[in-house]
Amino acid sequence: MASFWYTKYVERGSYLSGDTRVWSVGNTYGQPGTMQMGPTYLIHRGAAGNELSSNLVGTGTMGDVVEMLGLLYPDGSVNILRSINGGATVAGGLSAANAPAAAWFDRTFVFNFISGANVGTMAVSRHKAGPLTFNGITRDTIAKARAA
């Protein structure tokens, strides 16, 4: 299902580890029906025979307030947007399309995931997720997702 995934948090080092995720749906990286945001500001979706990612250049620093918006489109493509400390929004670029799996690999939702353990690398202040378009509003910008 086309959806948006908005997370606002205080950066406490999630970008320091190659295996850190801001959030994760499913618990096995790359499996069809999994989706993760992080570590170095990317969104990743496992898809049968094709890994899809949208990556942002650069990272924040400790103490930054980060807003990230992951977008899953009807064709299965993903994109990520980020704003640091209320600054301009930067987009990662739309991935290739690949139809989403019929079901999530594992119905698990985890914040602050690192190698299977929660280690306190971030301070989430807000998370919202839902249909990409609802009541005629497509939540494809950080401002629209924040207002949802």
Q: What is the residue-level pLDDT of the chain in tens, covering all 148 positions?
A: 789 999 898 877 655 555 566 777 765 555 545 566 665 677 877 766 677 888 887 777 888 898 989 998 998 888 999 999 999 999 999 998 887 766 666 667 777 666 555 455 567 788 899 999 999 999 999 999 999 8
**In this structure, what token pair is assigned to residue 109?**
């939702």
8 Å CB contact between 15 and 84: no
Q: Contact at 8 Å (CB) between 116 and 45?
A: no
**Gap between the Cα atoms of 64 and 85, Å rounded:** 6
Kindly report the number of other CB atoms within 10 A of residue 25's CB atom. Answer: 23
Q: Which helix (H) or strand (E) holds 129?
A: strand 122-131
Residue 35 pLDDT: 64
